[in-house]
Amino acid sequence: MTDCGQVRNRVRELTARAWDVPAVEARYRKLLADGMPRPVLDPTSIVARTREILDRVQGKAEEYEYLGHN
């Protein structure tokens, strides 16, 4: 389980973030209209860029969560 202090810090960080709402809304509408993209990925590239990919996915998830609650 995650430490409560870490969660509090993360909440503060997300609260202070400057959200680009129009860009997030546009991506969200495109996702709803077109569905999930299905790119062909090279497994070795995925392994080499795992951290970058996970950070990008988490960032998008946080943006959509923010949009869904506002």
Mean pLDDT score across all residues of the chain: 88
* pLDDT recorded at residue 34: 93
- The backbone region for 17, taken as left when phi is positive above 0, alpha when psi lies in -120 to 50, beta otherwise, is beta
pLDDT tens digits for 22-44?
999 999 999 899 998 888 888 99
The domain total for the chain is 1
* pLDDT recorded at residue 2: 64
* 47 falls within a domain: yes
* 30 falls within a domain: yes
Instruction: Say which residues have a Cβ less than 8 Å from residue 53's Cβ, sequence separation at least 6.
Output: 46
Six-digit token pair at 8?
């509090």
Asked if residue 62 lies in contact with residue 14, where contact means CB atoms within 8 angstroms, the answer is yes
* 61 falls within a domain: yes
* 27 falls within a domain: yes
* 1 falls within a domain: no
Element (H, E) at 64: helix 50-69
* 14 falls within a domain: no
* 53 falls within a domain: yes
Domain around 49? 20-69
DSSP secondary structure of 27-58: HHHHHHHH--------HHHHHHTHHHHHHHHH
Whole-structure pTM value = 0.61
* 4 falls within a domain: no
